[in-house]
Amino acid sequence: MTVAPRVSVITPFLNASAHISEAIESVEAQHFGDWELVLVDDGSTDDSAAIAAVYAAKDARILLLAPDRTKRGAAAARNRGIAAARGELVAFLDADDIYGPEKLAHDVTALDGDPEAAWVYGATRWFHENGAGKEYRERLGVRLDRRYDPPEILARIILEERGDIPCTCGVMIRREQLLAVGGFEERFALYEDQSLWVKLLLAYPVRVISGCNAAYRQHIGSTSTAAASSGDYDLQSPHPARDAFLAWVGEYADARHAPPSVRRALAIAIKANDGLFFSKLARKFRRMNRFIYPSAA
C-alpha cells in the first residue's frame, strides 16, 4: 500500500506553457521532500498539459488530472485537486507562481508547532514579468509568529483591509479543516481565494508566520490583469467584483451566526467600496499601515 505524503501541493493550470515548468521545478526543489504535486488541467489548449505530462512521467510524486468540462475555473480546479489530494496538509501554487526552497518545510514546522491552528499564512513576494516593475513584499498588518482566534483576522484583514490579504501561494491548510468548510466557492472568478479565507477564519484559528517563501508573478495574461482591463477589478479602488464578494460574506456570516464584530467590519468594507469618502478613508488606513500596493502588470 502506498504511504500518503505529508503535504499535497495543488496547481491548477490553463494555457500556462510559459510558466508551468518553473512552478513545477520550484516544488521539486523543496528541502522538504514528503510531498505530492497535483496538477489540474482546467482545459488548456496550448502545450501546458504536454509539459505537465512529461514531469508526471518522470516523478512519481506528481499527479496530472485531465480536464473536466463540467467544472471549470480556478476555484473548481482547486477543489478537484483537493478531492484528489492525499496529504494531511494542503498548499496551493498557481502555475505562474513559484515557491522558494524552504516554503514547505517552513509551513510544516509552523503547523507542527501549533496544533490548534487550522492553517498558516505568510508574506508573498510580488514580482513583475521580465523585471518590468518594482518588486514588493506583502505587509501583513499583524504581529507575526502568533495564532489568531476567529474572527479577528477576518474583520481586520479581509474586510477592513488593514493588512495585505494572503496570496494563495502563501498558505498551508490542514486538509481535514479544508474539507470541513467546503473548499473554494466556485461561483467566483475573482475572490475565490478570499471566499475560502472567510470560511476558515470564521471557524478556526490561524497562525500568521514570518518569512517570505513564495512569489506571485504579475503579467499581462493573469486573471486579475484581465479583470482590471474590463473594469471589474481594481487593486486600490472600489470595484464591482468586491461588491459581489461582500454580499456573499454577509450572507455567509449571517447563516453561521457570526459575532457582531464581523458585521461591523463588513459595514466598513461595504462603505469603503461604495463611495469616494469611504474609499479615501480605506486608503488612509493603508497609508497608516505603510501598505504600498504594486501596480497591476
Retrieve residue 254's grid coordinates: 449571517
Contact in structure between 264 and 160 (CB atoms under 8 Å): no
Contact residues for 91 (Cβ-Cβ < 8 A; gap 6+)? 7, 8, 9, 10, 103, 104, 107, 169, 171, 172, 173
DSSP letter assigned to residue 208: E
According to the model, what pLDDT value does residue 240 have? Answer: 75
Radius of gyration of the chain (CA): 18
Retrieve residue 214's grid coordinates: 513564495
CA distance 250 to 240: 16
DSSP letter assigned to residue 156: I
3-state SS, residue 108: helix
Question: How far, in whole angstroms, is CA 182 from its chain's centroid?
Answer: 15
According to the model, what pLDDT value does residue 113 have? Answer: 98
Question: How far, in whole angstroms, is CA 109 from its chain's centroid?
Answer: 20
Contact residues for 247 (Cβ-Cβ < 8 A; gap 6+)? none
CA distance 32 to 39: 19
According to the model, what pLDDT value does residue 134 have? Answer: 83
DSSP letter assigned to residue 109: H
Retrieve residue 18's grid coordinates: 510559459
pLDDT, mean of each 10-residue run, the chain (297 residues): 91 97 98 98 97 98 95 95 98 98 98 98 91 86 98 97 96 98 93 96 98 89 49 52 92 96 94 62 45 31
Contact in structure between 27 and 9 (CB atoms under 8 Å): yes
